[in-house]
Amino acid sequence: MTDISFSDIAIVSCGTLSLELNYLKKQGFLDTPQILYTTPGLHQDIPELERQLLRQISKAKEKTEKVIVIYGGKFCYVNMDEPTRLMQTIIEEQGPTVARIQATHCMDMLASESERNRIAEEMAGGQPVWWMTPGWIKFRKEVFKGWDQGLANENFPKHTGGAIVLDGVGYLDDYMEKHPEAFLEYSDWMGIPIIPYPVTLDRFKRLLTDQAEKLHGDGV
């Protein structure tokens, strides 16, 4: 991975990925002057997602012309009222100085589809898996806002391979040690085991670097 600076690029991200982004900033990889977040879990409230995203992009542009948006393309923004309006549509409307990380959702930012298939085979014998990132643990109330036990029972148990958390920051080990009862209660609510799986942030860093190079290379 080539060294590249983010010193002239602001980041706008779903708050679900704040753990990973703050970690990369602390490590010195992400030397961005500004990271702005939207509320975690807004994939369930598309109008509010678009409002917050546009507001944060506008705010980011006040500090730097170049902006990288950390949102998935396929699953994070599904507009039922206007199906042809995609996340990429919103990004393109912001002009050439705004780019989006090329991934389908936050799990895809940490492990590619082929990597997730390998992990599912290793950890769950290829059975269906509910994928999560550490943000889905930390921001449970926001990510699953409005979910009752009935909705949980409809969605989770069919994932017989359990819920695998792609953890690139060591969050789960600390959480399970400090909040064991909350962790077990979360698993009981889902009706499936929650399984931490350590990953590196190499893919995430590469996806960020790809967009930084694109913004710099376009001469904008």
% residues pLDDT > 70 (the chain) = 96
Q: HSE (CB half, 13 Å, CA atoms) of 163?
A: 22
When divided into structural domains, the chain yields a total of: 2
Q: Do 27 and 93 share a domain, yes or no?
A: yes
Strand duo 9-14 + 66-70: pairing: parallel
Q: Do 22 and 98 share a domain, yes or no?
A: yes
pLDDT for 84: 77
Tell me the residue range of the domain where 98 lies. 9-106+201-217
| pLDDT tens by residue, 14-39 | 999 999 999 999 999 999 999 999 99
Q: Do 181 and 120 share a domain, yes or no?
A: yes
- Average pLDDT, integer, range 100-127: 95
pLDDT for 77: 64
Asked, for residue 86, whether it belongs to a domain, the answer is yes
Q: Do 41 and 87 share a domain, yes or no?
A: yes
Confidence at 219, pLDDT banded by 50, 70, 90: very low
Asked, for residue 2, whether it belongs to a domain, the answer is no
C-alpha–C-alpha distance, residues 70 and 145, integer Å: 21
pTM: 0.92
Q: Do 132 and 150 share a domain, yes or no?
A: yes
Confidence at 144, pLDDT banded by 50, 70, 90: very high
Nearest CA among 41, 49, 59, 62 for reference residue 90:
49
Asked, for residue 3, whether it belongs to a domain, the answer is no
Question: How many residues can be counted in the chain?
Answer: 220
Cβ–Cβ < 8 Å for 40, 65: no
* Structure token pair of residue 190: 């889902």
